[in-house]
Amino acid sequence: MTISWECEKQTFVALSTTEAEYVAGTDEAQELLGVKELVGEIGLKMDLPMVMHMDNQAAIAQVTSEASSATTKHMDVKLKFIQDSVQKGELKPQYAESDSMLADLLTKPLAATRAKDMREAIGLTTAAARLSIEALGRSVGS
């Protein structure tokens, strides 16, 4: 599983949560398509569509629709970019509960127990934990 994350303020004022989410999704789409190109340049192929986990169902509906509305006209280029990638079968937005968004580990302050659970879910360990596991493996194998 690949987790793409970036923590920065958006450079515009979103008029709705949905708009903020699909603009962030557009940034994610650009990154995923760039990774696809890079992987292709070294002779490998990626399975398509690439799944984009999003926690806003209204944003998913917006990017999977071919239509645009008067409320999205000011963001039409970004919306059309991601809609086009979905239509081509390159990307597939998929709903994920906010609590299961593993990238939150890298972008938000979390309670210690939640941070630990998420860290374990992505296989991220501390050096001390790795050394303990390796030492345990050596003593069991001896």
Asked if the structure places residue 55 within a domain, the reply is: yes
Taking the mean position of all CA atoms in its chain, how far away is CA 115? 17
User: Residue 85: its pLDDT value, please?
Assistant: 92
pLDDT tens for 67-123 read 766 666 666 788 888 889 999 999 999 998 877 777 777 777 888 888 888 888 877
Cβ density class 27-58: b for 16+ within 10 Å, e for less: bbbeebbeebeeeeeeeeeeeebbebbbebee
Asked if the structure places residue 134 within a domain, the reply is: yes
Do 116 and 66 sit in the same domain of this protein? no
User: Residue 137: its pLDDT value, please?
Assistant: 63
Domain hosting 66: range is 1-98
Do 77 and 125 sit in the same domain of this protein? no
> Which pTM was predicted?
0.65
Count of domains forming the chain: 2
